Chain A
Amino acid sequence: MLEPLSEPFMQRALAEVVLLGLAGGALGCWVVFYGFSYAAESLAHSIFPGLVLAAIAGAPLLLGAAPAIVLAAAAIALVARIAGVGRDAAVAVVVTTMFGLGALLALAPSSPPGIESLLFGDVFGVTDGDLIAAAALALLVAVTLRLLHGRLLIAGFDRGTARSLGVSPAFADAALLILLGAGIVVAVQGLGNLLVVAVFVGPAAAARQLSERMLPMMLLAAGLAALAGVAGLYLSYYAGTAGGASVALAIVAIYLVFLLIGQLRGSSLPRAGATIG
């Protein structure tokens, strides 16, 4: 069990997935309750052209991902304002355009090989810079979620009444989406463009099966995500499977186990909108 720990590349990978897991798991609980899972998926895919351009230029991926996510968010806001185009459709249009653009760039004959690591991640190739970014993300998420906890709780509970309680739902949305964007931009290096969404949705969805309070749910999700990261890396080390995909699979496996436990306990809360006399 300890043998992989002697490998420096494995130590860095473990540190990366634990940091990303802690941040992604805790933030993911809010993503799930605010209905931002689709937004997470979309934001992740829409930064693909930025990643490809950064890879071609030999620059840190962060420098390509950050402007791409801002561009995608602005484009979604703009397209959604065209009469007759709903928000869902606007997201779909922008994401496919951005992802297609990235694929065109990636598949051009002049592009360097190894672009697939952008899609599936290169968790064993994380740099010191990546680790610092992951640590900064974990700190940013922890501090912001702690400061905004009460406000996020109110706006997520009942948007209609939030304002009368001194909370702007639009502010809560914006704060979460900015954190989510930052999380995706940082996590994409390790987990890849196609799999990064797993860490923001899976552990939270699993924790939701067992917890009926927000704070314990966030702690549980953070722990599960870190655990899944470690388990995935060990799987990858011993079975020779791809790192990012192994982590994503471990997350899904944990989710399925918790789903089963939740079903067996038969104690799930009523869904929103159900009325009881």
Chain B
Amino acid sequence: MPAAALIEAEGLAAGYGGTPAISEVGFTLQAGQTLALLGPNGGGKTTLLRALLGELRPLAGRLAVTARCGSVPQTERSRLDYPVSALDVATMGALSGLPWWRRPGRSEREAAATALARVGLGELAGETFGRLSGGQRQRVLIARALVQDAGVLLLDEPFSGLDRPSSEGLEALIGDLAAEGRGVVLATHDLEQARACDLVLCINRRQVACGEPAGVLDDLAVLEATYGGAIVEIPGGGRAILPPHHHHH
């Protein structure tokens, strides 16, 4: 008998105030798989991530999430002027497992230090979060999700704003974490990153396509339905999505 899927969605609709922002979403994520979530800004990527986190109830369809989901937001959304170390941020992941009157103690901080070492930041545990580079901050937030004991990592555009080496290092880390049996959902605008995943899910207020990268990403009709006209052919082969208006919060 195969192990239960980490996430199973079928005819899923979710949204705010009873109005669906996404509908007809169906996919299955198995342990060890990575899924790229493609879609325009406002197309419902964030809504789907929030539904997976259990913050939005399905308005229709079925959603079964059998593992804890850990949210890894864009680091620009967190405050860089905040008085916390990398270790403090990673330790935040331990809090949901504690009763409300207990503060994270030694064992929680040890778990956080172990997670930081796992993402390659053991040396920088004591550094102030706002002084780390963008790629390092992204790793700290992944460590926080590991401390949460997340079986599924939900990453929101983890590569945005990173230079090539940081980006490649992060990609390798995500691959390693998946190889350990975690599921990874990765919202992205980068078709090359999407191609490196096991599955690609395209949504634009409803599901446009879901499947293996080759089948989905090579179908121009799918990309046009996902992004409208915002696709360019790159000379020498390949396609890219025109950078959307980057939203800095």
Contacts and interface: CB of A to CB of B under 8 A. Distances in A.
B28 interface: no
B133 to A, nearest CB: 6
A158 B84 contact: no
B181 interface: no
B81 A270 contact: yes
Interface in A144-162: 146-147, 149-151, 153-154, 156-158, 160-161
Contact of A212 (B73, B83, B93): B83
Interface string A238-277: 0000000000000000000000000000001111111111
Given A150-B104, A158-B77, A277-B163, A165 B95 contact: yes
A146 B103 contact: yes
A154 B95 contact: yes
Interface of A: 33, 146-147, 149-151, 153-154, 156-158, 160-161, 163-167, 208, 211-214, 217, 268-277
For chain B, which range describes its interface: under 10, 10 to 19, 20 to 34, or 35 or more residues?
35 or more
B162 interface: yes
A157 B81 contact: no
A208 B83 contact: yes
Contact of B128 (A160, A163, A269, A276): A269
Contacts of A151: 95, 100
Given A146-B103, A217-B83, A160 B93 contact: no
A211 B53 contact: no
A158 B131 contact: no
Contacts of A275: 76, 134, 161, 248
Contacts of A268: 81
B80 A164 contact: no
A164 B52 CA distance: 10
A143 to B, nearest CB: 11
